[in-house]
Chains A and B, each alone.
Chain A
Amino acid sequence: MKWSETTSPAERRRLLASLVVLGIVLLYPLRSHAYAGPGAGFAVLSSFWTLFVAFLYSVYAFFAWPFRQLFRLLRRRKAYGKAQIKRAIILGFDGMDPELTERFIAEGKLPNLAKLRERGTFRRLQTTFPPISPVAWSTFMTGVNPGKHNIYDFLARDLSNYLPYLSSAEIKGPKRSWKIGKYTIPLGGPRIKGMRRGIPFWHWLGEAGIFCSVIRVPVTFPPEKFSGVLLSGMCVPDLKGSQGTFCLCTTRLRDDKFREGGVRVPIERNGSSCSSYVPGAENPLQGGSGDELRVNFEIHPDKGNQARFTVDSHSFTLKVGDYSEWIPVKFSAGMGFSAHGICRFYLKEVSPEVEVYVTPVNIDPSKPDLPISHPVTYSIYLAKLFGPYATLGLAEDTWALNEEVLDDQAFLAQCYANHDDRERMLFDALEKTQQGLCACVFDTTDRVQHMFWRYLDDDHPAARDVPRDQRPSVIQDLYSRMDELIGRVMKQIDDKTLLMVVSDHGFKSFARCVNLNAWLHQNGYLALKVGKTESGDWFDDVDWSRTRAYTMGLNGLYLNLKGREREGIVEPGANAEALKDELRFKLDGLVDPASGRAGITGVFDCDSVYAGPYVDNAPDLIVGYGDGFRASWDSVMGKVTSQIFEDNLKAWSGDHCIDPRLVPGVLFCNRKISDEKPAIVDVAPTVLKLFGLALPGYLDGKPWTVAPPTAP
C-alpha cells in the first residue's frame, strides 16, 4: 500500500480509529462475534467458494492429466518431435506497407524492424488476387488460393437477385419458432454458418498437440473448434447483425440519412435534461415487423462542457470530446428474451445543441449472444481479465469519420483504445503460450492508413486545404508505435522462437474514384431502363435483359451469364470467354482523362488466378486499379453514375483494393529466409513445416527455407 501517496491524514485517522475499534471488538470474542453480518459472510463465502472450485478443479485436473497424456500417445500425438522451433509468434499488421516501412526504417524511426531486417529477413510479401483483407487473411490461414477458400471480397452476390451478402458468414434466425398471436417465440438460437472454406493451419497444429492462441485473425467468425483458443476478428457482426452501425444522437433536426454505417437518432429535450436511445436489433418476438429494440438513456447537461449520462443502472459524466468506458446495454425483447451488448458514448456537444456519438453496439464478450471465440469461455476470460473490449470485426468506426460524425482525434482515440486492448490480449497470449503458436492480428494499421493517407499524399483531394506543414504525422506515429510493440515482443523471445511480422497487403493513395459500372454503361455493356441515365444502389433501374457485365464490391467484375445469373444473357463458353477478353483489352490501361494516368493497370481472368472447387463463385474478372485509384463508393454499391472518374473527397483516403502487384505486404522474420519472392499463401506451410508436421497435399503455398537462428 502506498500509504503516504494515497492516504490523507484525515483518512489515516479514520482508518486508525476503525482499526482500534475492530481490534477491541476482536479482542473480546464471544459467541455473537463469530459472525459479523452479511458483509463478512459475503466475502468469506465468495472467497471460500472460489478456492473450493479451484481445489475441485485441481483434483479433477490431477487425475485427468495422465489420461489426457495417454490419449495423446494413443493418437500418436508426439508434439514437437520433429519441430525446429518451440514457439511461433506471428504478428499480423493489417496493411503495413513495405515502401513506407523502408522509408521510415531509413529515417531511423523503426529501430526494431531495422534490427529484424538486419539479423533476419525483410521481404515484400506477395498478396492475393484481389488484395483485400478477408481474402488475404483467409489465404494466410489456410495456405490455399481463394478458389479453395471461397472468399473473394467482403461481399458476394446473390445470383437470384443481384443483391450482395456478406461473403464470410451467414446468420439466420432460429430454425423453428412458435407463433402466439402477434408474438413469434424463437425456439433455439440463431443459425450461423461460416462461408470460408479450407482448414486453418492451427487446426493441424492442434491435432498434433501443439497449443495455439489465435487472436483477431480476420474471417474466423464463426469460430471453428480446434485444440487451442481463438478470438474471432474481422467479420464479427455488431448486435444489429451489421458490420458496424454507429448512432448519432442529436437535437439537430435533419431528415437525411448517412450514406454508410450509421443512423441518426433524435434527442428529446425534457426541461433541463434530454433523453434518447440506442437502437438495437429487430425485435425477434415481433416476427420481422421491423420494430427495433432500444435502450433508452438520459443526458443531464451540467455547467461547463460536460454532461451526466444515465444508461440503465450506469451513470457517468463526460466532458465534450471524451469517450465513456464500454457501457453494458441490455436490449429486452420481453418474455425473458434479451440481447447483451456494449457500446461507448462520445460527447460531441452540449450547447447550444446536444450531440452524442454512440459506437456500434458490440457483442458483449462477457455474455456473448453469438459465439465469438473458441471455446466460448475464451472471450469471457479476456473480458474478466481486462474488462470489456471491442468485439466487432471492423471495430474502428471508419464510417463515422467518413461521415464527419467523428473528427480525426476522436477516431484516433477510438483506434488506439482498441489497439491497447489488443496489445494486452497479445501479451497475455504470449505468456500463456510458451510453446506453440501465438498469432495476433492488429487492425489499427489498416484503419489508420485508410483514414489518414490524405496527409501523406501531396495533392490528395480530401486534404488540399490542409497546408503541408500543418498535416499531422499520424501514419508515421502509427508505424513507430507498431515498431515499439515489436520491440517489446522481441524481448520475450528466445532462439527457439520464430517471430514473423506479416501484413496482408500494402497501401496506396485513394485519390480518384473509378465507377466501373459507369464505364460499362457508357461502353454498352450495362444497360439502364429506358429514360434513366443513372441507377440507384444495387442496380436499381438496371435493365438486365440488355446487360452483359456489371460490378459490385471492390475488385470483382461479373458477366451476366446465362444459366447462372437470374436474367443472364451472355452465353457461357466461347461467347463468355470472348467477352472477358474484350473487357480485359479495353479496361487494361484505362486512362483517367484528368490526370493522364492509368486508372486500371491490370485485369485478371479468374480462370488464370484461381483454382479449386469454389472458382464458380469467383468474379469473372479481377480489376486491378492503378496507384491512386480505386473503385468508386457508388460502384462498390452497384450504382451506375454518369461520371467514370471523380475525386475522392472522403477521409477514407488510402486503399489497397487495387492491382495486387502494387500493394505487396511485408514479411519480417527473426531468421534468415532464402526465398526471394515469398507469398502470403506460403505462411501456413512454412509454420507447419517448422513444427515438423507433414504438409497436407491440397496446400497451394510452398514452405520457405528458414535458416537456424544466428548468434545475436
Chain B
Amino acid sequence: MGSLGVNLPAAIVVGISLVIGLVMVVVFRYTSDQKAIHVAKDRLKAHLLALRLFQDQIPVVLRSYGRIVLATGRYLRLAFKPLLFVIVPLTFLIVQLDRYLGSMPVEVGHPFLVKVRMDNPDALNEASLQLPDGLSTTAPAVHVPSESEVAWRVVPEKPGEYVVNVQASDQTFSKRVVVGAGLQRLSRVRLRGKFWERIFVSSEPALPASSLIESIDVQYPARNVALAGFEWNWIWLFFVLSLAAGFLFKSILGIEI
C-alpha cells in the first residue's frame, strides 16, 4: 500500500491498462484495413449463421466449417498487421514496466541467492563475493560445475541500495542489489554480451567482453498485485484490463477490431 492507503502497483496497472487499451484501439484504427476487417468479420458471422440456417444440409454445413476456418485465418491475418506496428514499442514498454512490477526488492532478513556464471567450470574456484556492510553470507559458496555456476546465499540486514562485487582472477565486477519495500526499478541480472537478452532482462551496463564472468544474477522475489480480492501476476491483470478497456473504447469510438 502507498502512503495514502492506495494499492500503488494495482493503481499503476489499472491506469496503464486503460491508457494502453485506448492507445491500442486508436493505433489499430489507423494501421488496419478497417473495411477489410469489417468484411472479414461479417463473412465469419455469415458462415456461422449458415450452420444454423442450413443445418439439415450436411454438405452445406461441412463447407461452412471449412469457410469458418478460412475466414478466421483471414481475419487473424488482417488483425495481426496492426500488431506489427505496436509490438515493438509495446514490448519495450512492458519490459520497462516489468522492471518495476515484475519483482519486489529483497526484504530485510530474507535470504536471497547471488549466482555467478563463469566461462568454464575450472574458473569457479577463482570467483569470490565481496559484500558491503548490511549484507552478509549465511553459508559457503556452492559450486555447480555442470552449470559453470557458483551461488552465495546472502541475507540483507538493513534496507538500502547496495553494490556487491564479484572477483574472478584479477577482475572485479559489481552488481546492484536493492533491499527494502515499495516500487523500485530492479535489474535481476548483469550480462556479458547477449545484446537482445540484455535489452529485455537487464538494466545494468554489460560486463566486459574479456570478462571470465558471463552473468551475475540476483534472485528477487516475484511480485503479485492485489486487486478485486485476487493476487495477480501483473501481466495477466494488464492483459485482462487492457483488453476490457480496448473493447470499451472501440465501442465508444466506433472502431472495428
| Residues of chain A whose beta carbon lies under 8 Å from any beta carbon of chain B | 15, 18-19, 21-22, 24-25, 27-28, 30-47, 50-51, 53-54, 57-58, 61, 68, 211, 229, 313, 375, 377-378, 380-385, 387, 431-435
Supposing A35-B238, A229-B53 touch, asked if A45 and B65 sit within 8 A by C-beta, the answer is no
Q: Let me know if B24 is at the binding interface, CB within 8 A.
A: yes
Q: Let me know if B230 is at the binding interface, CB within 8 A.
A: no
Extra contacts besides A28-B196, A33-B91, A40-B87 (7): CB < 8 Å: A37-B20, A39-B83, A39-B86, A39-B87, A42-B79, A387-B42, A432-B57
Supposing A37-B90, A43-B80 touch, asked if A377 and B53 sit within 8 A by C-beta, the answer is yes
**The one of B42, B82, B84 that contacts A385, using a Cβ cutoff of 8 Å:** B42
Chain A residues within 8 Å of B220, by CB: none
Q: Let me know if B95 is at the binding interface, CB within 8 A.
A: yes
Q: How far is the CB of B48 from chain A (nearest CB, A)?
A: 6
Q: How far is the CB of B27 from chain A (nearest CB, A)?
A: 7
Q: How far is the CB of B215 from chain A (nearest CB, A)?
A: 15
Chain B residues within 8 Å of A35, by CB: 94, 235, 238-239
Q: Let me know if B28 is at the binding interface, CB within 8 A.
A: yes
A28 nearest CB neighbor, chain B only: B196
Supposing A50-B72, A387-B42 touch, asked if A380 and B49 sit within 8 A by C-beta, the answer is yes
Chain A residues within 8 Å of B44, by CB: 50
Contact, CB under 8 Å: A381 / B87: no
Name 27 A/B residue pairs within 8 A (Cβ), A-sorted: A21-B84, A22-B87, A25-B91, A32-B94, A35-B235, A36-B83, A37-B86, A39-B24, A39-B27, A39-B79, A39-B82, A39-B86, A40-B87, A43-B75, A43-B79, A44-B76, A46-B75, A46-B79, A58-B65, A61-B55, A211-B54, A375-B53, A377-B52, A382-B46, A384-B42, A384-B49, A434-B60
Contact, CB under 8 Å: A24 / B196: yes
State the CA gap A378–B72 with chains docked (Å): 21
Contact, CB under 8 Å: B57 / A211: yes
Q: Let me know if B206 is at the binding interface, CB within 8 A.
A: no
Chain A residues within 8 Å of B24, by CB: 37-39
Q: Let me know if B41 is at the binding interface, CB within 8 A.
A: yes
Chain B residues within 8 Å of A53, by CB: 48
8 tightest CB-CB pairs across the interface, nearest first?
Answer: A43-B79, A38-B246, A384-B46, A385-B46, A381-B49, A384-B42, A38-B24, A18-B84
Contact, CB under 8 Å: A38 / B21: yes
State the CA gap A27–B28 with chains docked (Å): 24
Contact, CB under 8 Å: A387 / B39: yes
State the CA gap A50–B44 with chains docked (Å): 8
Q: How far is the CB of B57 from chain A (nearest CB, A)?
A: 7
Q: Let me know if B187 is at the binding interface, CB within 8 A.
A: no
Q: Let me know if B30 is at the binding interface, CB within 8 A.
A: no
State the CA gap A527–B236 with chains docked (Å): 85
A34 nearest CB neighbor, chain B only: B235
Supposing A37-B24, A381-B53 touch, asked if A32 and B243 sit within 8 A by C-beta, the answer is no
State the CA gap A102–B25 with chains docked (Å): 60
State the CA gap A68–B56 with chains docked (Å): 9
Q: How far is the CB of B250 from chain A (nearest CB, A)?
A: 8
Contact, CB under 8 Å: A381 / B235: no
Q: How far is the CB of A547 from chain B (nearest CB, A)?
A: 53
Chain A residues within 8 Å of B245, by CB: 38
Supposing A42-B246, A385-B43 touch, asked if A36 and B90 sit within 8 A by C-beta, the answer is yes
Chain B: interface residue total (CB-CB under 8 A): 61
Q: How far is the CB of A499 from chain B (nearest CB, A)?
A: 20
Chain B residues within 8 Å of A28, by CB: 196-197, 200
Q: Let me know if B50 is at the binding interface, CB within 8 A.
A: yes
Contact, CB under 8 Å: B76 / A47: yes
Q: Let me know if B123 is at the binding interface, CB within 8 A.
A: no
* B88-132 CB contacts (< 8 Å) to partner A: 88, 90-91, 94-95, 98, 102
Contact, CB under 8 Å: A57 / B42: no
B39 nearest CB neighbor, chain A only: A387
Contact, CB under 8 Å: B54 / A432: yes
Q: Let me know if B51 is at the binding interface, CB within 8 A.
A: yes
Chain A residues within 8 Å of B76, by CB: 43-44, 47
Contact, CB under 8 Å: B246 / A41: yes
Q: How far is the CB of A149 from chain B (nearest CB, A)?
A: 28
Contact, CB under 8 Å: A32 / B95: yes
Contact, CB under 8 Å: B83 / A30: no
Contact, CB under 8 Å: A38 / B20: yes
State the CA gap A375–B254 with chains docked (Å): 29
Q: How far is the CB of A208 from chain B (nearest CB, A)?
A: 13
Q: How far is the CB of A693 from chain B (nearest CB, A)?
A: 18
Q: Let me know if B154 is at the binding interface, CB within 8 A.
A: no
Q: Let me know if B59 is at the binding interface, CB within 8 A.
A: yes
Contact, CB under 8 Å: B91 / A36: yes
Q: Let me know if B45 is at the binding interface, CB within 8 A.
A: yes
Q: Let me know if B68 is at the binding interface, CB within 8 A.
A: yes
Contact, CB under 8 Å: A51 / B49: no
A436 nearest CB neighbor, chain B only: B57
B240 nearest CB neighbor, chain A only: A41
Which residue, of A30, A44, A50, A383, has the highest number of chain B Cβ atoms within 10 A?
A50
State the CA gap A470–B245 with chains docked (Å): 63
Supposing A45-B243, A375-B53 touch, asked if A50 and B48 sit within 8 A by C-beta, the answer is yes
A314 nearest CB neighbor, chain B only: B254
A373 nearest CB neighbor, chain B only: B53
* B1-51 CB contacts (< 8 Å) to partner A: 20-21, 24-25, 27-28, 39, 41-46, 48-51
**The one of A21, A32, A50 that contacts B235, using a Cβ cutoff of 8 Å:** A32
Chain B residues within 8 Å of A381, by CB: 46, 49-50, 53
Chain A residues within 8 Å of B254, by CB: 313
State the CA gap A25–B200 with chains docked (Å): 10
Supposing A25-B91, A50-B68, A61-B51 touch, asked if A384 and B80 sit within 8 A by C-beta, the answer is no
